[in-house]
Amino acid sequence: MALPMSLPPFAAIVVAAGKGLRVGGDTPKQFSSWRGKPLIRHSVETLKGAGAEPLLVVIAPDALDHAEAALTGIAGVTFVIGGATRQDSVRAGLEALDAAVPDHVLIHDAARPDLPHSVIERLLAALAQHPGAIPVLPVVDSLALAGADGTMGGKAERAALRRVQTPQAFRFSAIITAHRAWTGTTDAGDDAQVLTASLGSVALVEGDERLKKITFAEDFVNIDTAPTFRIGQGFDVHRLEPGEELWLGGILIPHDKGLAGHSDADVALHAITDAVLGAVGEGDIGTHFPPSDPQWRGARSGQFLAHAVELARAAGYAVANVDLTLICEAPKIGPHRPAMRAEVARLMGLTETAVSIKATTTEKLGFTGRGEGIAAQAVVLVTRAL
């Protein structure tokens, strides 16, 4: 998948040493299937795809077989045996990383499988100013303090409270020093607490509701109630103007005019991207890549489509097929159809037989008939991953 932004180098530790038996059964939850694959595999794949190197997974002493089976085929993962508490396990992971001396490290809980790339971006950016950063969300419900007798003991002010998520990001030298200096008699709860105990500042960055922690059996069951398939449709239009390049379906096409827009204005890929996003209820292309953001000026639209496909995958769906119709008088699409079809298939991880690209005209009617622009309409079917 093409990522929205390049990231500075970082290492990652995924903590998976807990028993995780509240979901029921004999298999720890981090190795149980969720949305078609082991729970831990989701975040490990995301971190590897974002560039985590090295990537360590901390496991219980008796969990090596489970871990190897869950992460089979993923190169560059090192297993480390954890300790009696989460803090002991993180310390073991940090000590194992010490020889690599990374500048930055992300510490993540395996029970949070849906890890948005945007959260990783915000965390690493915050480390330019702070030795630590954590993703947080506001508290929206009213809070009450519980009295010893089981009655309400007082009101908690939610305005100053935040819900803390992982991954938590740190300058490696700061967090390993803080863990080595820890003198508390109880578990710190999370690594941000360890750092603040050493007087390190921890930035609060925007988290994401997608980072929900999988805790109970119903968190696994709910995915089975999702529809077996979903359908999305996308439509887009861009003007044709002299002096612009003409990108269609990820292919640069020779023509006396090109499509104008903030990105490369690839109307075909934009329509398909919106169809994928629509199928999984993830808004539209402008939500994820707003034209007001200068970083997307002139950007290749292939990365938009790849991002949409990844969001579908994270929601538990795989793209089954794509049907695209281009509406224009010129250029002639036929000669470029095979190359466009191959490129769309590559971007979406599909076979070419799952990609249909057609073209039509409006019989000289309307803006497409006058050669003022090109329109595209796409339909996408996604199916629930098994």
Two structure tokens written together for 290: 């707003």
Neighbours of 265 (CB within 10 A): 26
172 within 8 A of 101, measured Cβ to Cβ: yes
Left, alpha or beta for 186 (phi > 0: left; psi -120 to 50: alpha)?
A: beta
134 within 8 A of 165, measured Cβ to Cβ: yes
95 contacts: CB under 8 Å, gap ≥ 6? 176
CA-to-CA distance for 152 and 142, rounded, in angstroms? 12
pLDDT tens digits for range 104-134: 999 999 999 999 988 999 999 999 999 999 9
More confident residue, 223 or 180: 180
Q: What is the mean pLDDT of residues 183-210?
A: 88
For the chain, give the number of residues.
386
Q: Domain locations in the chain?
A: 11-222, 226-384
Which stretch of DSSP H or E encloses residue 343?
A: helix 337-348
Residue 4 has pLDDT above 60, yes or no: no
pLDDT tens digits for range 17-39: 987 554 445 678 899 888 778 89
CA-to-CA distance for 120 and 228, rounded, in angstroms? 31
User: What is the radius of gyration, based on Cα positions, of the chain?
Assistant: 24
220 contacts: CB under 8 Å, gap ≥ 6? 23, 29, 32, 33, 34, 214
pLDDT of residue 64: 94
Q: Tokens 């890929």 correspond to what residue?
A: 269
Residue 3 has pLDDT above 60, yes or no: no
What pLDDT band is residue 374 in, cutting at 50, 70 and 90? very high
pLDDT of residue 220: 60
pLDDT of residue 111: 93
pLDDT of residue 112: 94
Two structure tokens written together for 86: 């989460």
pLDDT of residue 23: 44
Residue 224 has pLDDT above 70, yes or no: no
- Give CA 169 to chain center in angstroms: 16
Angle between helices 302-314 and 267-279 (to 10 degrees): 10
- Give CA 295 to chain center in angstroms: 19
pLDDT tens digits for range 52-90: 999 999 999 999 999 999 999 999 999 999 998 999 999
pTM beyond 0.75: the answer is no
Residue 280 has pLDDT above 60, yes or no: yes
Neighbours of 60 (CB within 10 A): 19
CA-to-CA distance for 26 and 188, rounded, in angstroms? 28
CA distances from 384 to 216, 261, 313, 345, 377 (A): 21, 34, 9, 19, 23
pLDDT of residue 80: 97
If you average pLDDT over every residue of the chain, what do you get?
89
CA-to-CA distance for 109 and 214, rounded, in angstroms? 10
Fold of 226-384: 60s Ribosomal Protein L30; Chain: A; (3.30.1330)
Closest CA to 97 of 106, 85, 86: 106
Left, alpha or beta for 269 (phi > 0: left; psi -120 to 50: alpha)?
A: alpha
What is the SS3 assignment for 166? coil
Fold of 11-222: Spore Coat Polysaccharide Biosynthesis Protein SpsA; Chain A (3.90.550)
pLDDT of residue 133: 97
Two structure tokens written together for 178: 């803080």
The residues that bridge with 232 in the sheet, in sequence order, are 380
More confident residue, 237 or 295: 237
Most confident of 80-84, 208-212, 311-315: 80-84
